[in-house]
């Protein structure tokens, strides 16, 4: 029998057309036993059956979404049943911009599960988003797949899984760095504009480097304005995050942006990451546009 506390269970859910089937294929490649389109009422039973075996699988990934008529009604019950079995599932919620979802549906020509004679595709997607907002709010990780190809999505999920594994109880903090010229992340709870900091881009010797390099970090955060900003910014975050946690907030996404998302935002984000980890937060980081800048 496989111990529940050593066998990860991941529920992959989200907006229809956002890439859930692709995500499950990634988990399958990672050694997970995967089931797609599972009725939420069966999830605890399936998890229990898998745990009763001395399985060689690395974990269990369950795809659950609006294709099943009783998906929403059975969601809380399923998680309560799994909790009673000692299972704490982690939820990966996928979403994408409305226009991108409509483009994908036009390409595949598949009907949306909520679409009907009285409800068109756009209205069905908007209604689904509203219905799934409570699940999104409590998810361990939210991933916007709007700008990802199938191969990009595979790479991102593989990279993120190690971070998902490390998430503990309490508030989750997800840090995204981005370039304003490529667009602001739609899933951000807070957006910080860092374009006032010294810009290494104008130094040809520094331009090829990124904020992951110490030379860039020293350039951005070692200046007078950089030192003062970084101290105040970290003080602000360590002050504000516990207040949100006290209000029952489960997850916060911080978006840090500069012009191209390669130098300043990355340097500051790495400083935030190190500080919040020392404070005991479960933190993940995504440098969304670093390779584009």
The response to whether 123 counts as a known ligand-binding position is no
pLDDT computed for residue 110 by the predictor? 79
The response to whether 129 counts as a known ligand-binding position is no
Cα separation of 21 and 290, whole Å? 27
| 83 and 188 fall within a common domain | no
Of 126, 148, 167, the residue that ends a domain is: 167
Asked whether residue 25 is domain-assigned, the answer is: yes
Question: Who has greater pLDDT, 29 or 285?
Answer: 285
Structural tokens at position 239: 């002050």
| 156 and 194 fall within a common domain | no
> Structural domain of residue 86, as residue ranges?
4-167
The response to whether 14 counts as a known ligand-binding position is yes
Sign of CA dihedral 281, 174, 156, 41: positive
User: CA Rg, the chain, in Å?
Assistant: 21
193, containing H or E segment: strand 190-193
Of 147, 167, 187, the residue that ends a domain is: 167
Of 167, 186, 206, the residue that ends a domain is: 167
The response to whether 67 counts as a known ligand-binding position is yes
The response to whether 52 counts as a known ligand-binding position is no
Cα separation of 287 and 270, whole Å? 10
The response to whether 222 counts as a known ligand-binding position is no
pLDDT per residue as tens digits for the range 149-161: 777 777 777 776 6
186 in Cβ contact with 100 (< 8 Å): no
pLDDT per residue as tens digits for the range 261-286: 999 999 999 999 999 988 888 888 99
The response to whether 40 counts as a known ligand-binding position is no
| 120 and 202 fall within a common domain | no
The response to whether 144 counts as a known ligand-binding position is no
The response to whether 158 counts as a known ligand-binding position is no
Question: Who has greater pLDDT, 54 or 89?
Answer: 89
| 132 and 221 fall within a common domain | no
Asked whether residue 293 is domain-assigned, the answer is: no
pTM score: 0.61
pLDDT computed for residue 156 by the predictor? 76
The response to whether 19 counts as a known ligand-binding position is yes
Number of domains in the chain: 2
Asked whether residue 292 is domain-assigned, the answer is: no
| 186 and 282 fall within a common domain | yes
């Amino acid at each position: 029998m496989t111990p529940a506390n050593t066998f990860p269970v991941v529920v992959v859910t989200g907006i229809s057309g956002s890439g859930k089937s692709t995500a499950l294929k990634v988990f399958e490649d990672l050694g997970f036993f995967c089931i797609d389109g599972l009725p939420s009422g069966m999830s605890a039973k399936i998890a229990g059956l898998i745990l009763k075996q001395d399985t060689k699988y690395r974990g269990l990934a369950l795809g659950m979404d609006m294709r099943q008529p009783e998906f929403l009604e059975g969601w809380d019950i399923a998680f309560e049943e799994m909790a009673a079995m000692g299972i704490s599932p982690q939820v990966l919620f996928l979403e994408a911009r409305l226009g991108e979802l409509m483009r994908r549906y036009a390409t595949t020509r598949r009907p949306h599960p909520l679409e009907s004679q009285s409800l068109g595709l756009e209205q069905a997607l908007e209604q689904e988003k509203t219905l799934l907002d409570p699940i999104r709010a409590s998810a361990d990780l939210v991933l916007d797949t709007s700008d990802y190809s199938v191969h990009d999505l595979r790479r991102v999920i593989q990279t993120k899984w190690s971070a998902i594994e490390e998430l503990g109880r309490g508030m989750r903090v997800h840090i995204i760095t981005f370039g304003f010229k490529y667009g602001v992340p739609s899933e951000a709870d807070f957006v910080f504009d860092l374009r006032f900091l010294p810009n290494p881009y104008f130094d040809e010797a520094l331009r090829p480097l990124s904020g992951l390099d110490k030379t860039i970090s020293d350039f951005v955060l070692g200046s007078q304005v950089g030192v003062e900003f970084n101290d105040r910014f970290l003080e602000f975050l360590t002050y504000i995050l516990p207040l949100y946690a006290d209000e029952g907030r489960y997850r916060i996404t911080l978006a840090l942006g500069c012009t191209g998302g390669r130098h300043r935002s990355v340097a500051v984000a790495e400083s935030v990451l190190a500080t919040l980890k020392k404070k005991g937060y479960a933190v993940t980081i995504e440098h969304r546009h670093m390779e584009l800048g």
